[in-house]
């Protein structure tokens, strides 16, 4: 469906510039890659953002992170990180505690339950990404990653 959409757009020549065509291509590609990922996570009662938070906290280790640090590391910015953390805490996937030195700061940690939920998802998600992109081969994937890094630099 995604490829057909891009072909139809190219044939009708709606783009005013090559930059616009590339921008739309990136958006369509991101959606095509994200949709199966989100569907997989939905089957495990997680959103992509919740999954991202759990991975961030697993990577932070025992020290955890402040709520602000979690928000800064998210792939997709969310307006209300507190509500997202509330939902994860209600499921006992994370815990929060006030900093003893600065009571304004709240630290977030992944719980054992969060690790138990997250662990079994690693391999199926790795397999999903592999199926989606392995046809490009390592050299092209590295090149694509560098090009995407370069594209983000242009917007700053």
CA dihedral 81, 92, 39, 65 (to 10 degrees): 40
User: Tens digits of per-residue pLDDT, 119-145?
Assistant: 999 999 999 999 999 999 999 999 999
Contacts 24+ apart (CB under 8 A), 132-140: 132/33, 132/36
Residue range 101-127: mean pLDDT, rounded: 94
Q: What is the pLDDT of residue 21?
A: 86
DSSP label of 45: T
Alpha-carbon distance 134 to 130, whole Å? 5
Q: Domain coordinates of the chain in residue numbers?
A: 1-43, 48-156
User: Tens digits of per-residue pLDDT, 27-60?
Assistant: 989 999 999 999 999 999 999 999 999 999 999 9
Tell me the sheet residues that pair with 66. Answer: 107
- Name which of 24, 99, 23, 27 is nearest 66 in CA terms: 99
Tell me yes or no: is domain 48-156 CATH 1.20.1050.10: no
On the question of pLDDT at 1 being above 60, the answer is: no
Q: What is the pLDDT of residue 149?
A: 93
Residue range 82-87: mean pLDDT, rounded: 93
Which is higher by pLDDT, 60 or 11?
60
On the question of pLDDT at 107 being above 70, the answer is: yes
Looking at every residue in the chain, the average pLDDT score rounds to 90
Tell me the sheet residues that pair with 12. Answer: none
Q: What is the pLDDT of residue 93?
A: 98
On the question of pLDDT at 61 being above 70, the answer is: yes
Grade residue 62 by pLDDT with cuts at 50, 70 and 90: confident
């Amino acid at each position: 469906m995604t490829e057909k959409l891009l072909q139809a757009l190219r044939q009708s020549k709606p783009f005013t510039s090559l930059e616009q065509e590339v921008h739309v291509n990136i958006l369509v590609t991101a959606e095509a890659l994200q949709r199966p990922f989100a569907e997989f996570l939905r089957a495990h009662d997680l959103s992509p953002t919740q999954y991202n938070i759990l991975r961030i906290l697993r990577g932070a280790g025992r020290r955890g992170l402040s709520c602000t640090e979690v928000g800064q590391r998210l792939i997709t910015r969310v307006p209300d990180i507190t509500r997202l953390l509330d939902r994860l805490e209600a499921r006992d996937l994370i815990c929060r505690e006030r900093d003893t030195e600065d009571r304004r700061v709240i630290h977030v940690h992944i719980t054992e339950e969060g690790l138990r939920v997250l662990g079994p998802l690693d391999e199926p998600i790795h397999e999903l990404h592999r199926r989606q992109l392995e046809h490009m081969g390592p050299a092209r994937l590295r090149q694509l990653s560098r090009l995407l890094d370069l594209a983000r630099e242009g917007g700053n």
